[in-house]
Amino acid sequence: MLDGVCSGVLQFVMAEDCLDWLNAIGSNISNLTQHNVKKINRNFPVNQQIVYMGWADEREQDSLQDRMYSPKFLALRGSALFKFSAPPVTTWDWTRAERSFTVYEIMAKTLKDGDLVDKRGHCFSIQTESGEDLFFSVELQDELLLWEKAFQMATFLEVERIQSKTYACIMESHLMGLTVDFTMGFVCFDAASKAVLWRYKFSQLKGSSDDGKSKIKFLFQNQDSKSIEAKELEFSNLFAVLHCIHAFFAAKVACLDPVFVENRGLAPPTATIPPLCGLSCNSQPPKLKYTT
């Protein structure tokens, strides 16, 4: 049921029949949801459009309920991922989400067999801006693919809209600002005077590492000397910064993909952004070439 309260059990003689029914029901729900999304989007401005809505089972974090799941309704709208206990019906409902996250400051990952936390399949995780890991499961592989593509699209659209994001940081005991800019790349400036101390293109970032707490060390290549220049910055919101950088890199990669560029005018779930290895704790960014 739409309210997520009522349910029933269908029993079949053959497993194949059960799977056929499950796929048919899932397909029908997906089609109805997409139809509903189109109707709702008529009332929202361009920057608040819904890209995805659907049910998923969230793994409980409480150790007293180990391996227990509860149904949650997820929605990607504008700049945010919303988590509800029941689908939003009115405009007021959107203000009553259990939690909401800025899409470019979180990381979504489809879990492979070796990453699964239990026997459930079709799972994905979300790492929040604080570093918390949330685990979700859906019924069908098609639902998982739909979620993955929708999240990639929502992130790309928001990066394209904001174009840049600035975070406060500390460098050599001085208060600074680091701007991640879709066109210029990385720009570090003095917080007091606003004087730019250094800037690098995305293509100049050759590596990075972090301590998992607050510090990130960037390795940039000097365009003239080709030497590597290390810059260490300290942030109060490490994971948000890492996820934001990843989102901007992924958006740059998407712009280089002719299939994505061609499909951008289609419905959000049909266009695919090429996956990019995560900029996560103690990891190295992919050595890809970008145009800026």
Q: What is the pLDDT of residues 67-124, one digit of tens each?
A: 588 999 999 999 999 999 999 988 899 999 999 999 999 999 999 988 888 888 899 9
pLDDT at 23 over 90: no
- pLDDT given at position 55: 93
pLDDT of 145 higher than 70: yes
Q: Spell out the domains of the chain, with CATH numbers in brackets.
A: 15-162 (2.30.29.30), 164-270 (2.30.29.30)
Is the pLDDT at 269 greater than 60? The verdict is: no
Confidence of residue 244 (pLDDT cuts 50, 70, 90): very high
d(Cα 203, Cα 96) in Å, to the nearest integer? 41
pTM of the model: 0.82
pLDDT for res 196:
97
- Across the range 187-198, mean pLDDT stands at 97
Residue 211 — pLDDT band, cuts 50, 70, 90? very high
Q: Quick one: what percent of the chain has pLDDT higher than 70?
A: 85
Decide if pLDDT at 257 tops 70: yes
Mean pLDDT over the full length of the chain: 85
> So what's the pLDDT on residue 105?
98
Angle at 86 between CA 83 and CA 87, to 5 degrees: 80
pLDDT band at 292 (very low <50, low <70, confident <90, very high): very low
Phi, psi of 229 (to 5 degrees): -115, 120
Q: What is the pLDDT of residue 126?
A: 97
DSSP H stretches of helix in the chain: 15-41, 141-162, 238-255, 258-263
pLDDT of 125 above 90? yes
Q: Around Cβ 280, how many Cβ atoms within 10 Å?
A: 17
